[in-house]
């Protein structure tokens, strides 16, 4: 997996989501390079709606690829305050730019310190084996 990118400034989950602190108690969520690579070519994304309240571990969307359909699980609890509507027209951005234009949604955190409980890049790489 050494050829895949895992930015140092993000937090990660064992379920292959990444989280970026956006400030003001808001976190941006997407899937990692490992996840998009395992999925193959992404052809459709279903995201939560702005205003939805999510709890840790909730299924809050789906990613459909040429290989399979996979649930998205909420890594943090809070209220969805933004979604990447660009993925409707160009879901392949998840493959081409998973940490940039391929982001999925923003959540206003119920606990602003919750991101600290997620994996740092070294711990995430270690769990990949």
Instruction: Give pLDDT tens digits for 20-33.
Output: 999 999 999 999 99
CATH number given to 11-124:
2.40.50.100
Q: Where are the domains of the chain?
A: 11-124
List of residues 6+ apart from 85 with CB closer than 8 A: none
User: What pTM value is reported for the model?
Assistant: 0.94
51 confidence band (pLDDT: 50, 70, 90)? very high
List of residues 6+ apart from 66 with CB closer than 8 A: 40, 41, 43
- CA dist 72 → 2, 24, 99 (Å): 24, 24, 16
1 confidence band (pLDDT: 50, 70, 90)? very low
Mean pLDDT on 104-124: 96
Q: Report the pLDDT value the prediction gives residue 2, as an integer from 0 to 100.
A: 43
Tokens of 126: 């270690």
Enclosing H/E stretch for 12: strand 11-12
Contact 39, 63 (CB under 8 A): yes
Residue 98 has pLDDT above 70, yes or no: yes
First to last CA, the chain: 9
36 confidence band (pLDDT: 50, 70, 90)? very high
Mean pLDDT on 31-39: 95
List of residues 6+ apart from 126 with CB closer than 8 A: none
């Amino acid at each position: 997996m050494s050829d895949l990118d895992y930015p140092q400034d993000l937090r990660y989950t064992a379920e292959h989501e990444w989280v970026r602190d956006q400030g003001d108690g808001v976190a941006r969520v997407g899937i990692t390079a490992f996840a998009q690579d395992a999925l193959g070519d992404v052809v459709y994304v279903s995201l939560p709606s702005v205003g939805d309240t999510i709890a840790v571990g909730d299924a809050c969307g789906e990613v459909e690829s040429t290989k399979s359909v996979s649930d998205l699980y909420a890594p943090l609890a809070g209220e969805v305050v933004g979604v990447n509507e660009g993925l409707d027209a160009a879901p392949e951005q998840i493959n081409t730019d998973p940490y940039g234009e391929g982001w999925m949604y923003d959540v206003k955190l119920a606990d602003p310190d919750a991101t600290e409980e997620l994996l740092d890049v070294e711990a995430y790489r270690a769990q990949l084996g």
